[in-house]
Structure 1
Amino acid sequence: MKIIIITGQTATGKTSLAVKFARKFKGELVNCDSRQIYKYIDVITGKDKRLLKTRKIWLIDLIKPDQYFSSFDYKESALRVVKDILTRRKTPIIVGGTYLYLKHLLYGVETENIPPDRLLRRKLANKKVENLQEILRILDVPSLNRLSHSEINNPQRLIRKIEIIKFRAKRQHIEPPRFDIALQKPKNENIIILPDYLRLNSINFKIIGLKFKNNDDLKKAIEQRVEKRLEQGAIEEVKNLLTIGFKSTDPGLKTIGYQQLINFLEGRISKEEAIKQWITKEVQYAKRQYAFMKKDPHISWREV
């Protein structure tokens, strides 16, 4: 029994490698990209529509762009999918660069038993980042101060922090995660029992991380990717999403690429500036990806 995980920096060819492993090991792909869980946002997120016609990829096109989807939601969904794949004696191949999703799935977190508060999320969904920061400051200054620069400007991370603090305020004691449960196969039964998260010592894992040799290669690859996305109709896709009624404040459209093109389409910046900002944001994101992932000792790195 094995689970293969392919992660790493954006634009490194993770999906292509995952497909090769799927053919070799009779595997099924499980998406671990926080942008590809959204329906309708296809071009900028790099969904391979030709591949999707020939091969099933789990956890793609799950929700609409105006819906919220946390790492807790991902973990719950991924566990069910992995269990199903293992039960059918296939190899789950988890592919994507959203390390927060992967970390939550593999190791769990201290907030494991704190479920999403849907009502609270709806109330906070349309608030500006500054308003969310102020709410968190009122509730718990230390929690706000512990956030990184990217987290403190991420509405979804701020909402989750507020959610956790409010939950803990209602309960003085929270039961710890069920760390004692191991992945196991009962005797004489074709059933796979999964724990609350996937523990590395409970199953045969192989985690591969893809990274660029240097920053010059990184920037060149992202420039080429952005150019390709524009040729594939990125601007038209954003126009269609806005026409349908989705907004720049919707979770799915807060991703890199969409924000810059929305600013262009709404006249705040030029097309050239939008493309420049898009490339810069993607490069910064890729650097942050590696900064977080390189701390994980279980990842075997390959340069591309």
Structure 2
Amino acid sequence: MNTSTIIITGPTASGKTARAVALARRIGGEIISADSRQIYRGMDIGTGKDMAEYGDVAVHLVDIAPAGYKYNLFEYLRDATAAEADIISRGRRPIVCGGTGLYIESLLKGLRLPQVPPDEQLRRQLSGKSLEELTHILASMKTLHNVTDVDTPQRAIRAIEIQRWYELHPEAHGGECDPEPARSLIIGVEIDREARRKRIENRLRNRIDHEGMIEEVKGLLDSGISPDDLIYYGLEYKFVTLYLTGRISREEMFVQLLIAIHQFAKRQMTWFRGMERRGFTIHWLPYDLEAEEFTDRIVSLTAEQQ
């Protein structure tokens, strides 16, 4: 990752996108998404794309794959690195914005991965195991994996599959990192737990009652995407699909989904704290700063780093 690239991250519902857009307008930047689900076309409300929020600011790695596809870390590193190089070549400033800690940390480390093929035999062996059992297996493995997004058995199985491939191919060593990765400026949008919980609940109610999130998922199912493929994406797409296929009630959908999003935000913060322990400096700025002051502070930090 280039030293001129700025990272804006933080937990879900902290307002990262608005901050990144304001900064991009200030410094002549373009945004590279670091959100593992905004990649998919047609998955807009549940992933919180808010495309209108970008306005005239260019954004990369949003809507680049069809819903139902299983985009992976190998592809993200390839595509994000290419987008960063393209932005810099045009004299613009890359701003990576999102809450998928694995994507961000892997970019910062300059991680390069081989493409891991599916292991159908292993998938058959693991099929039928509960998410708790799979998570326990995964917790005993050492390869970097995206625990923040592993909330379905399918994702856990894929993570185990990747680790098993590395065990069989020790020459890969879990991917290679740049010996001296660039020290990009990392900004974290800080929000206290209670404010975060309120924003998450209000946002969820609005998406269900006013924005049409249930209708969005129904449209995806009607288009031919299988329920299992949508459940794979977790969170909104998991619980709304369970509701639409009659496995849970509407009230159960809301309550279980709200709990899952709170847990997801907690896992995100655990990842970011882990990054700090692993040597990354994250400059935390309050979520409720005025936009101009928030941007001023980033510009000031950028000048200090040069």
Q: Deviations over 1:5-29 (max 9, x none)?
A: 1000100110000001001100001
1:277 aligns with 2:256: yes
The answer for the alignment partner of 1:186 in structure 2 is none
- Count of matched residue pairs: 277
When residues 152 and 58 of structure 1 are mapped into structure 2, their CA distance, relative to the original with a 3 A threshold, is closer
Q: Helix, strand or coil for the counterpart of 1:54? A: coil
Displacement after TM superposition at 1:166 (Å): 3.2
TM-score, normalising length from structure 1?
0.79
Contact map agreement 2:35 2:100 (CA 8 A) in 1: yes
1:143 aligns with 2:113: no
The answer for the alignment partner of 2:115 in structure 1 is 115
1:217 aligns with 2:219: no
User: Distance between the aligned counterparts of 1:78 and 1:141, measured in 2?
Assistant: 28
Please report the RMSD computed on the Cα atoms of aligned residues, expressed in angstroms. Answer: 3.4
Identity of aligned pairs, percent? 30
One-letter amino acid matched to 1:200: A
Contact map agreement 1:43 1:234 (CA 8 A) in 2: yes
User: Distance between the aligned counterparts of 2:144 and 2:51, measured in 1?
Assistant: 40
Contact map agreement 2:9 2:186 (CA 8 A) in 1: yes
The answer for the alignment partner of 2:286 in structure 1 is 303
1:200 aligns with 2:202: no
The answer for the alignment partner of 1:246 in structure 2 is 225
Displacement after TM superposition at 1:249 (Å): 1.8
User: Distance between the aligned counterparts of 2:127 and 2:167, measured in 1?
Assistant: 24
Displacement after TM superposition at 1:251 (Å): 5.9
Contact map agreement 1:114 1:164 (CA 8 A) in 2: no
One-letter amino acid matched to 1:116: V
Contact map agreement 2:20 2:97 (CA 8 A) in 1: yes
2:171 is aligned, of 146, 150, 173, to: 173
Q: Deviations over 1:239-283 (max 9, x none)?
A: 111111112321675221111111211222221221111111111
The answer for the alignment partner of 2:60 in structure 1 is 58
Q: Helix, strand or coil for the counterpart of 1:143? A: coil
Contact map agreement 1:7 1:207 (CA 8 A) in 2: yes
User: Distance between the aligned counterparts of 2:25 and 2:129, measured in 1?
Assistant: 48
One-letter amino acid matched to 1:99: G
TM-score, normalising length from structure 2?
0.78
Displacement after TM superposition at 1:173 (Å): 3.1
1:1-304 equivalences in 2 (<5 Å): 2-51=4-53, 54-108=56-110, 112-117=112-117, 120=119, 124=123, 128=127, 130=129, 143=141, 151=150, 154-166=153-165, 168-169=167-168, 171=169, 173-174=171-172, 177=176, 179-180=178-179, 199-201=181-183, 205-213=184-192, 215-230=193-208, 231-250=210-229, 254-297=233-276, 298-304=281-287
Q: Deviations over 1:226-245 (max 9, x none)?
A: 01211100011011111111
The answer for the alignment partner of 2:295 in structure 1 is none
User: Distance between the aligned counterparts of 2:252 and 2:71, measured in 1?
Assistant: 30
The answer for the alignment partner of 2:304 in structure 1 is none
Displacement after TM superposition at 1:151 (Å): 4.6
* 278-287 or 156-165, which deviates more: 156-165
One-letter amino acid matched to 2:221: L
Contact map agreement 1:136 1:144 (CA 8 A) in 2: no
